[in-house]
């Protein structure tokens, strides 16, 4: 089994190396935050509808927890003040960052084209940046290490294949994909146990991740009845139903309580 | 005839093995099991940069390698000098166990902590430590002096009853490993603690009441009783510290300290129960 895996791995590397000279490298999307990161919308539907909204936060704003990076001096040195956990980020306008909003149900059964651009997941200051990303199934994720220290990238999916790979300081970017839809896959670094990120893999392009204004916009939807779900790593998931007609734009607001 | 250096060497191996159990516990508690993604080398090297989780994982490998070499020497030593055939075979068995343990450790890395393998690795570590303690016992001068046999008058027969202690303690250790590696919840381990503590109390008090005047039996029973009380306290402390730090963004030193102490004292509890069982079956007719 191990030999087979090694053989497949070597073959994959050789295949990638062979392709490298003749094709363009995958393009990289800007970090999917600030404000909201949206998937690329299909442009072939003149009647496309839009769902917009925001994810509000009610209750007492939690104070972010301090990360202890003393175990790796290079990590501690990267921050002038102690780094904080990004588990819950409440924006100045009372909204919630890092919330995935996606169309959970209602879309027609069809193959949606996978974007050729890669979504970047960087390790900088010994934290994952962005903290939450979303991609389409089989879309490239470009994992980079901007730190002067080793990291290991270790996603913990339930339905996709688990992997764990090291990445040296300023090492080559890794291109990774997840073939199956799976929401909020935790990604950790076992070298630095405070590092945590979440990758959502969606089977279609209708999703967004809220940024520092807590808003989202899902464009290019075919008219229809949809279930929209907002998912946050700490506060869980909430669903709302919405019906959109041709060229219509509707607002759907979510609210999570602390 | 006693070989004092062989005995001292066996004691050193047992101490190193306990340290290895501590090092392994630190790996799990610091969530560092996969901080080094390759095996048997670490990042393709014999000595990677020792930072973050790599310090715990590679440190564990270094201590394990040391214990492996010490075990090879012990097995060869026993094979060459021991007159007792079963001791020579025990040496070989111990060597086989440490090799199996190393392979299980490698499998946890290569296959990314499959629960059955991780739990087996944890359980074999406890058994291996008890074996090294037994070898230290069997090579001691007091053991080689021979037994001081005492008659057992109570019911149930002590020779049968005493077997229950290591059995229950080992099952309890397996439940603890299952909870630690998220195969089972913590409730079976908590329920198991009540059963194992009850059995240990029953066994040790039976020994103390029936054979208080027997030096070896009394000391063995008191040792097991004391370690078990400490272990129960550490178990409660480990659980409470875990609850208290459950929202922490990373493993906290308080939780890590109590949990690793609980794991190490678990190994001592098993070893003490095995020693008591051996001494009772040797010294009680």
Average pLDDT in the A48-71 region?
94
Which of residues 89 through 148 in chain B touch A, CB cutoff 8 A?
110, 112
Size of interface A-B (CB pairs under 8 A): 70
Mean pLDDT of A197-205: 97
Residue A22 — very low, low, confident or very high, per pLDDT cuts 50/70/90? Answer: very low
Closest CA to A193 of B244, B238, B32, B243: B32
What pLDDT score was predicted for residue A46?
Answer: 81
Out of B150-159, B171-180, B256-265, least confident range? B150-159
CA angle B35, B41, B44 (to 5 degrees): 85
The arithmetic mean of pLDDT across residues A118-133, rounded, is: 97
Q: Do B167 and B119 fall within a single domain?
A: no
Classified as helix, coil or strand, A34 is: coil
Q: First and final CA of chain A: distance in angstroms?
A: 47
Residue A1: is its pLDDT beyond 50? no
User: Does residue A31 carry a pLDDT above 60?
Assistant: no
Q: What is the pLDDT of residues B196-209, one digit of tens each?
A: 999 999 999 999 99
> Quick one: average pLDDT of A226-246?
97
Contact B112 A74 (CB under 8 A): no
Tokens (6 digits) for A149: 């220290």
**Are residues B242 and B110 part of one domain?**
no
Q: What is the pLDDT of residue A42?
A: 54
Q: Which residues of B touch A171 (CB under 8 A)?
A: none
Name the minimum distance, in Å, from the CA of A77 to any CA of chain B: 14
Look at strands A151-155 and A165-167 and give their pairing. antiparallel
Q: Looking at B81, B113, B146, which one is the last position of a domain?
A: B146
Question: Which residue among B128, B146, B164 closes a domain?
Answer: B146
Q: Do B35 and A190 touch (CB under 8 A)?
A: yes
In this predicted model, which residue has the larger pLDDT, A43 or B102? B102
Give the torsion through C-alpha atoms of B271, B276, B281, B285, to 10 deg: 180
Asked whether the predicted pLDDT for residue B23 surpasses 70, the reply is: yes
B50, B139: one domain: yes
Q: Answer whether the bond into residue B156 is a cis peptide, omega within 30°.
A: yes
Q: Report the number of secondary-structure helices (H) and strands (E) in chain A.
A: 2, 19
For the segment A42-65, the average pLDDT, to the nearest whole number, is 87
In this complex, do A191 and B35 lie within 8 Å of one another by their Cβ atoms? yes
Please give, rounded to a whole number of angstroms, the shortest distance from the CA of B25 to a CA of chain A.
15
Separation between Cα atoms, residue A231 and residue A30, nearest integer Å: 22
| Structure confidence at residue A258 as a pLDDT band (50, 70, 90) | confident
Residues B199, B119: one domain? no
Least confident of A1-10, A179-188, A239-248: A1-10
C-beta of residue A149 within 8 angstroms of C-beta of residue B51: yes
Stretch B103-118: mean pLDDT: 97
For residue A13, what pLDDT band results from cuts at 50, 70 and 90?
A: very low
B126, B178: one domain: no
Residue A43 has pLDDT above 80, yes or no: no
User: Does B129 share its domain with B116?
Assistant: yes
Q: Give residue A225's pLDDT.
A: 96
Is B32 within 8 Å of A193 when comparing Cβ atoms? yes
Fold assignment, A28-257: Immunoglobulin-like (2.60.40)
Judge whether residue B1 has pLDDT over 50: yes
d(CA B98, CA A95): 55
Q: Do A74 and B51 touch (CB under 8 A)?
A: yes
Distance CA A66, CA B144 (A): 58
CA-wise closest residue to B259 among B21, B15, B34:
B21
- Whole-number pLDDT of residue A170: 78
Instruction: Indicate if B137 and B193 belong to the same structural domain.
Output: no
Cα A186 to Cα B124: distance, rounded to the nearest angstrom: 31
Residues B257 and B266: their CA atoms lie apart, in Å, by 14
**Cβ atoms within 10 Å, residue A19:** 10
Domain ranges of chain A: 28-257
Examine the domain organization and report whether B142 and B277 are in the same domain.
no
Which band of pLDDT confidence, cut at 50, 70 and 90, is reported for residue B153?
A: confident
The shortest C-alpha distance from A200 to chain B (Å) reads 21
CB atoms within 10 A of CB B181: 21
Q: Rounded mean pLDDT of B31-40? A: 95
CA distance A231 to chain B (A): 19
Tell me what the pLDDT averaged over chain A comes to. 87
Q: Which domain holds residue B57?
A: 1-146
For chain B, the domain total comes to: 2
Q: Which residues contact A222 (CB under 8 A, 6 or more apart)?
A: A45, A47, A48, A49, A107, A108
Give the pLDDT score at A207. 98
Is A28 in CB contact (< 8 Å) with chain B? no
The reply to whether B125 and B166 lie within a common domain is: no
CA distance A46 to chain B (A): 46
Q: Which DSSP state fits A115?
A: P
Residue A18's pLDDT band, with cuts at 50, 70 and 90, is very low
Q: Has residue A126 got a pLDDT over 80?
A: yes
Q: Which residue has the tokens 């006693």?
A: B2
Packing angle between helix B164-180 and helix B253-283, nearest 10 degrees?
Answer: 160
Q: Is A117 on the interface with B (CB under 8 A)?
A: no
Chain B residues in contact with A62 (beta carbon < 8 A): none
Which of B125, B146, B167 is the last residue before a domain boundary? B146
As given in the structure block, the two tokens for residue B147 are: 């037994």
Task: Quote the CA–CA distance of A207 and B47 in Å, as a whole number.
Answer: 45
User: What are the backbone angles phi and psi of residue A138, rounded to the nearest 5°?
Assistant: 70, 0
Q: Is residue A33 scored above 60 in pLDDT? A: no
**Do A87 and B249 lie within an 8 Å CB cutoff?**
yes
Assess A112–B contact: CB distance below 8 Å, yes or no: no
B161, B206 Cβ separation under 8 angstroms: yes
pLDDT digit string (tens) for B220-274? 999 999 999 999 999 999 999 999 999 999 999 999 999 999 999 999 999 999 9
Tell me how far apart the alpha carbons of residues A124 and A168 are, in angstroms, rounded to a whole number: 13
In the stretch 209-238 of chain A, residues with CB closer than 8 A to chain B read none
Q: Report the alpha-carbon distance of residue A41 to residue A33 in Å, rounded.
A: 17
ipTM of the complex: 0.86
Q: What are the φ and ψ backbone dihedral angles of A188, each rounded to 5 degrees?
A: -130, 170
* Residues facing A135 on adjacent strands: A201
Chain B positions touching A194 (Cβ under 8 A) are 249-250
B179, B134: one domain: no
Give the list of residues 6+ apart from residue A82 with CB closer than 8 angstroms, or none: A66, A67, A68, A69
Residue in chain A nearest B57 by alpha carbon: A191
pLDDT at B171 over 90: yes
**B140/B151 same-domain check:** no
Are B7 and B134 in the same domain?
Answer: yes
Please give, rounded to a whole number of angstroms, the shortest distance from the CA of B121 to a CA of chain A.
19
- Token reading at B120: 């087996």
């Amino acid at each position: 089994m191990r030999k087979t895996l090694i053989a497949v791995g070597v073959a994959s590397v050789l295949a990638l190396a062979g392709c490298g000279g003749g094709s363009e490298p995958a393009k990289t999307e800007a970090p999917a935050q600030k404000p909201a990161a949206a998937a690329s919308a299909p442009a072939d539907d003149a009647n496309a509808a839009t769902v917009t909204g925001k994810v509000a936060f009610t209750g007492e704003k939690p104070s972010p927890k301090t990360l202890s990076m003393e175990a790796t001096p290079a990590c501690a040195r990267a921050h002038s003040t102690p780094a904080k956990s990004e588990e819950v980020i409440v924006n100045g306008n009372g909204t919630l960052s890092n919330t995935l909003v996606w169309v959970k149900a209602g879309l027609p059964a069809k193959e949606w084209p996978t974007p050729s651009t890669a979504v970047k997941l960087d390790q900088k200051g010994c934290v994952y940046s962005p903290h939450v990303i979303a991609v389409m199934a089989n879309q490239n994720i470009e994992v980079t290490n901007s730190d002067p220290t080793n990291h290991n990238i270790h996603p913990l999916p339930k339905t996709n294949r688990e992997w764990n790979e090291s990445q040296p300081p300023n090492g080559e970017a890794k291109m990774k994909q997840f073939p199956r839809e799976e929401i909020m896959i935790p990604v950790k670094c076992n070298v630095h146990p405070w590092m945590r990120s979440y990758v959502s893999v969606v089977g279609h392009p209708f999703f967004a991740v809220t940024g520092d204004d807590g808003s989202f916009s899902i464009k290019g939807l075919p008219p229809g009845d949809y279930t929209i779900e907002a998912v946050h790593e700490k506060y869980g998931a909430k669903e709302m139903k919405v019906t959109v007609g041709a060229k219509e734009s509707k607002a759907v607001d979510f609210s999570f309580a602390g | 005839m006693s070989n004092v250096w062989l005995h001292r060497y066996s004691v050193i191996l047992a101490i190193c093995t306990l340290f290895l159990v501590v090092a392994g516990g630190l790996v799990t508690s610091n969530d560092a099991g996969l901080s080094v993604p390759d095996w048997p080398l670490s990042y393709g090297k014999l000595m990677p940069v020792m930072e973050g989780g790599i310090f715990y994982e590679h440190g564990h490998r270094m201590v394990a390698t040391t214990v492996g070499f010490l075990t090879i020497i012990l097995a060869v030593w026993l094979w060459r000098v021991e007159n007792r055939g079963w001791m020579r075979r025990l040496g070989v068995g111990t060597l086989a166990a440490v090799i199996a343990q190393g392979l299980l450790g490698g499998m946890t890395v290569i296959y990314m902590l499959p629960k059955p393998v991780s739990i087996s690795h944890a359980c074999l570590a406890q058994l291996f430590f008890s074996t090294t303690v037994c070898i230290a016992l069997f090579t001691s001068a007091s053991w080689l002096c021979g037994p001081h046999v005492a008659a057992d008058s109570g019911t149930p027969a002590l020779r049968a009853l005493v077997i229950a202690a290591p059995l229950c303690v080992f099952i309890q250790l397996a439940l603890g490993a299952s909870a630690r590696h998220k195969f089972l919840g913590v409730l079976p381990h908590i329920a198991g603690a009540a059963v194992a503590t009850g059995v240990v109390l029953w066994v040790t008090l039976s020994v103390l009441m029936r054979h208080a005047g027997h030096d070896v039996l009394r000391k063995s029973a008191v040792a097991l009783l004391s370690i078990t009380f400490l272990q129960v306290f550490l178990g409660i402390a480990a659980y409470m510290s875990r609850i208290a730090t459950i929202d922490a963004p990373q493993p906290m030193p308080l939780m890590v300290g109590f949990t690793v102490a609980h794991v190490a004292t678990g190994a001592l509890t098993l070893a003490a129960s095995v020693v008591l069982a051996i001494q009772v079956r040797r010294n009680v007719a």
